[in-house]
Amino acid sequence: MASHPTSTPSPAPEVAEAASKNKPTQDNVCPAPVRRPRPQRPNYRHIHRFPLPLAVHPLPPLIPHNPLSIISVVLSYLTYLISPPHQELYSAYFDSNTSSVHITDDKTIRALWEMGFFGKGSLSRSEPSWLEREKKRRGQFGGKTSEDVTRERRTERRELKLERARMEKLVIEQRLQAEAAANENGNASPDLEADSTSNGTATTAEKFSLRKAREARMLGSQQSEEQNSVADPGNASSGRKVSTPGKTVRFSPVVQEKQFISDSTVLQLPESLVDGHKADEESLLKNEEHLQLSNEEALFLAYGLGALQVYDSDRKTTIPTSSLLTLFRQHSYFPPRSPAANLDPDDPFLVSYAVYHHYRSLGWIVRSGVKFGVEYLLYNRGPVFSHAEFALVVIPSYDHPYWSETEERRTHAEEKQARSWWWLHCVNRVQAQVRKSLVICYVEVPPPGDAQALENDIGALLCRYKVRDVTIKRWVPNRSRD
Amino acid sequence: MADTDEAAAHLPASQDSAPQIETDLSDETQDFRFLNNLAFPSDSSQTSLPRRGEKDFEPNPTNYQADILDASRHAMHNALSHPRLHHPKHRVIAYYAPDGPAPPPAIDVTEEKDEKETATNDNNEHNLTKERSPETGTGISVPEDSCVYVPNPKGQYFKSMGRADRWNRVWLLPEEALYLIERGSLDIRWPVSVTGPTAEEGEEDLGIPMSLQAAYACFTGRGGLSVERFSVYTGLRRLGYTVIRAPGWDDESDEVQDEDSAPQQGLGIFGRFLHWLHNWNKSTGITTTGPVVGLGLHRSYNDIYRKLAIIPYHDPVTRQSPRRKTTPPFRVVFHVYKPSTVFRKSAPPTPDFRIAVVNSRTQTTMPTQAQLGALLESTPLDPPRGEKMDRMMYMRLRHGYRNVILAVVDQGVVSFLRIGDAAFGKEKVYAEKPPGPKKGGFRPRPKK
């Protein structure tokens, strides 16, 4: 309908007005606001150019027939020999009350996030961005955090939905009028007329999607502008008043209120604060946020990469890697097991760490998938670049003959492995909804073995776990026929 | 994370055809107006499929909507009231043979009974001596479980069903007979040996027709045909697939696949190399307490990743030395061919899909690694190859090296799950080149 404004003359200005109401200033400033310029993104390729928080020093290329290249290689060797480059060692501390690893140093937080996407900001959704958001709220900083982007997109979508609802309502009203008119006109040709009008508008109404709504809005803004330039402003404002009730179609009161609130927090504060207290605010503003590492991440950074040292709760003594593993294993139960108690080969931490380490070693960015009902999400290169493609569910497996030796072990293994079909379908459907592929990751649990010897050799311990992954996807016979 | 991903559901398909099958049209209520466009009786000239209309989500007071609803309802009733007739020319008559395949009875009606008895005795003896011999002494080369024969087969169904014997009769397996009688394409008669001589008038040797209820009673449970297996069979058949029994149908036999060993050799060496790498890593002692990547200078990130790879993973390409036996529900029971695949009864090609049928009420949990592993190992290697697969890593991973389809039947509702042996360990993501800057098209949003 909006694409053919001439055929339905009466509602078109209303549409235009309603659409332009939200951004009148922009319409007046820009001559043709057909497409809003996309806000400049930070250069993520540059920020996240290092996949791991380790520095690499590639040798200059050696070209056999060029003697100069040999010299450069030798030179680089020599420089490294004389002054070996310093490898950054980050520090974190383990809080045994919450069984979690924290980092409070700003530099370390940025480094671990930017190189490998480790951890989560305690006051943010994912990337520690509280300080930026807070600064922006106080009007000191113009940058845009991911939370802002999401909010904007949601507002936009909500508006479009309102628009769509309004259009549908309009079409219905129009059709009712047409039908009433046809009835009044008598029985001469009511059917034919009603049919023709309804058919014409029906198609437009039925095909009215969000995309269409967006187009309609652009068109509307253009039109309103033309109208503004031609007609006097008083006329336009009166039209605006008329159009206001048109917006209260379905869920409008709540939404409008919310919109108002969100707009006000973002837009109104700056004006009051920007001028006077800027300097004071900056000095007052302290970063209240810290980075929390999952225990798997902490062990990977410490044991796998050697880039992290974890301090005790008192923040004085560092925990050596082997006791760090024991500590995390104890803390994978709730309440944490006492140091005297024996640790099982299938304790949750070991199983999930084997999976974490495996996928990290393949180059995936592994992050928690609890929001999707899975253990892990696998990102290629990182969450700022693309959505996660794979969602990982971890299930222990007890294939080793040891686990079927006694009745007790058998029931233990059965309990640990059992997942119902209902659970599987549930997880599978959720992943399909968010366009992720479900991967079931079986971890083969070894028999306990010599606990004492394995405690001291993490590598030997981890090598006993075997990972097997299968992809699961709903198969629809209707779509697989070709 | 969650918020942006939720938005992804509304974005255009990202890179390759991600799982978009989730809007299953069969789950919705139909708008039956499309039936008006179908010509009754079927007109072969019109081959385009009907298109579905848009959906109204709530009632509104317009006459227009009421009219649409009326029209749709009318179309449905119209379609339902259309008489469905079986043309006598197309009638196919079959006979039920409760004792399994047997040679044809003598022409004389009075002698038939004795003849039959001796024949079945003979057959039974044969069964005892030699279980699964296709060629019995009576010259019947049809599966043991067949129990219906069609003396005069005609029609398209026998292209992919049944097995003919020496006397040109086609023997049907119970699921095939049940499917055909369900469709109304087959008229099964009770044998005279069961009903006794019916012909008071004695004009014809046609027995009493078998009812649908009787067919279900006779055929389900026969020769390993459970209700679950039948509902999978009939569902796929109705959709146009060709479905045949796989060797794993019976509990004793297991599907055995011979695999070419050429690629395994090379990968075996590769595996050994990896193993050696692990050992070398261990011998240097850095994995005991870490850091696994070692101290000192790192020349490249790929080296770091290679050193990090200490967790062993399952490689679907290397053959497991003792082949594990599949456990009953997790076993391929059907080979399925797409309608487009050229199928010959005498020499079935390699199946397009392999299906294992699971009753979710008796097997309440999903398979364990051992069960699934054995099931996957019973299927042949199907590595992700091809131009498209080479290009797209995600697609390779989703396809996997082996695959099987689980049909989980819960009280008649069938849900199919495709299982792929992915082997993420064989795809080194770090070695993939990051995609260059995209020009135009869809750009992923910034996301944290």
CATH for the stretch B226-258+323-448: 3.40.1350.10
pLDDT digits (tens, 9 = 90+) for B128-158: 333 344 444 455 578 888 999 998 888 888 8
CB count within 10 Å of CB A90 equals 20
Q: What is the ipTM of this complex?
A: 0.75
Residue A211 placed within a domain: yes
CA B217 vs CA A96, B98, B99, B174: distances in Å: 65, 12, 15, 11
CB B311 within 8 A of CB A354: yes
Interface membership of A435 toward B (CB under 8 Å): yes
Do A385 and A236 belong together in one domain?
Answer: no
Residue numbers of the domain that contains A470: 342-479
Three-state secondary-structure class, residue A437: strand
Asked whether the predicted pLDDT for residue B230 surpasses 70, the reply is yes
Select from B327, B174, B175 the least CA-distant residue to B251: B327
Per-residue burial over B294-317, b if 16 or more Cβ lie within 10 Å, else e, is: beeebeebeebbbbbbbbbbbbbb
Considering A187, A215, A250, which residue would you say is the last residue of a domain?
A250
Considering A207, A227, A250, which residue would you say is the last residue of a domain?
A250
Do A369 and A475 belong together in one domain?
Answer: yes
Q: Please tell me the predicted confidence (pLDDT) of residue A82.
A: 82
Instruction: Please give the sequence-ordered ranges of beta strands (E in DSSP) within B316-370, or none if there are none.
Output: 332-337, 353-359
Q: For an interface test with B, give the residue of A201, A362, A444 to mutate (most B CBs within 10 A).
A: A362
Residue A394 placed within a domain: yes
Winning range, highest mean pLDDT, from A201-215, B150-164, B172-186, B272-286 = B172-186
CB A163 within 8 A of CB A217: yes
Q: Please tell me the predicted confidence (pLDDT) of residue A221.
A: 63
Interface membership of B373 toward A (CB under 8 Å): yes
The CATH number of residue A438's host domain is 3.40.1350.10
Quickly list DSSP for B154-205.
-SGGGGSS-EE-TTSPEEE-HHHHHHHHHHT--EEE--HHHH----SS----
Q: What is the dihedral of CA A166, A169, A175, A176, to 10 degrees?
A: -140
Chain A residues closer than 8 Å to B428 by CB:
362-363
H/E element, A244:
helix A233-247
Q: How far is A348 from chain B (nearest CA, A)?
A: 16
Residue A393 placed within a domain: yes
Of B285 and A288, the one with more pLDDT:
A288
Task: For Cα atoms A380, A381, A382, give the angle at the middle one, nearest 5 degrees.
Answer: 90
Q: Which residue of B has its CA nearest to A379?
A: B429
CB A164 within 8 A of CB A210: yes
H/E element, B286:
helix B286-289
Three-state secondary-structure class, residue B357: strand
CB A101 within 8 A of CB A290: no
DSSP secondary structure code for residue B27 in this structure: G
Helix A321-330 vs helix A348-361: angle between axes, to the nearest 10 degrees? Answer: 130
Interface membership of A211 toward B (CB under 8 Å): no
* Beta-carbon contacts below 8 Å between A and B: 322
Query: Using only C-alpha atoms, what is the Rg of chain A?
Result: 31
Q: For an interface test with B, give the residue of A145, A386, A468 to mutate (most B CBs within 10 A).
A: A468
B199: confidence class by pLDDT, cuts 50, 70, 90: low
Of B105 and B166, the one with more pLDDT:
B166
- Has this prediction a pTM greater than 0.80? no
Asked whether the predicted pLDDT for residue B254 surpasses 60, the reply is no
List the 143-202 stretch of A: residues with Cβ below 8 A of B. Answer: 145-146, 149-150, 153, 172, 175-176, 179, 194, 198, 202
Chain B residues closer than 8 Å to A125 by CB:
1-3, 448
Q: How far is A381 from chain B (nearest CA, A)?
A: 8
pLDDT digits (tens, 9 = 90+) for B58-102: 788 888 888 888 888 888 898 888 887 878 888 889 999 888 888
Of B332 and A244, the one with more pLDDT:
B332
Q: How many angstroms separate the CA atoms of A466 and A350, rounded?
A: 12
On average, the pLDDT of chain B sits at 75
Query: Using only C-alpha atoms, what is the Rg of chain B?
Result: 29
Of A479 and B407, the one with more pLDDT:
B407
Residue A76 placed within a domain: no
Of B224 and B107, the one with more pLDDT:
B224
Ordered by start, the domain boundaries in chain B are 88-225, 226-258+323-448, 262-308
Residue A277 placed within a domain: no
The H helix count followed by the E strand count for chain A is 19, 10
Chain A residues closer than 8 Å to B21 by CB:
432, 474, 476, 479
Q: How many angstroms separate the CA atoms of B438 and B421, rounded?
A: 32
> Of B1, B366, B419, which is closest to A125 when you measure between CB atoms?
B1
Q: How far is A365 from chain B (nearest CA, A)?
A: 10
Quickly list DSSP for A406-420.
SHHHHHHHHHHH--B
Residue ranges in chain A whose pLDDT is less than 70: 1-39, 141-142, 186-283
Residue A289 placed within a domain: no
Chain A residues closer than 8 Å to B14 by CB:
386-387, 435
Select from B232, B442, B252 the least CA-distant residue to B357: B232
Considering A223, A250, A277, which residue would you say is the last residue of a domain?
A250
Tokens 């640790």 label which residue? A343
pLDDT digits (tens, 9 = 90+) for B352-393: 999 999 999 999 999 999 999 999 999 999 988 888 888 888
Overall fold of domain B88-225: MutS, DNA mismatch repair protein, domain I (3.40.1170)
Q: How many angstroms separate the CA atoms of A133 and A124, rounded?
A: 9
% helix, strand, coil for chain A, step of 5: 55, 10, 35
List the 91-120 stretch of A: residues with Cβ below 8 A of B. Answer: none
Domain count, chain A: 2
DSSP secondary structure code for residue A311 in this structure: E
Do A234 and A356 belong together in one domain?
Answer: no
Q: Please tell me the predicted confidence (pLDDT) of residue A253.
A: 41
Residue A312 placed within a domain: no
Positions of A marked active-site? 379, 387, 436
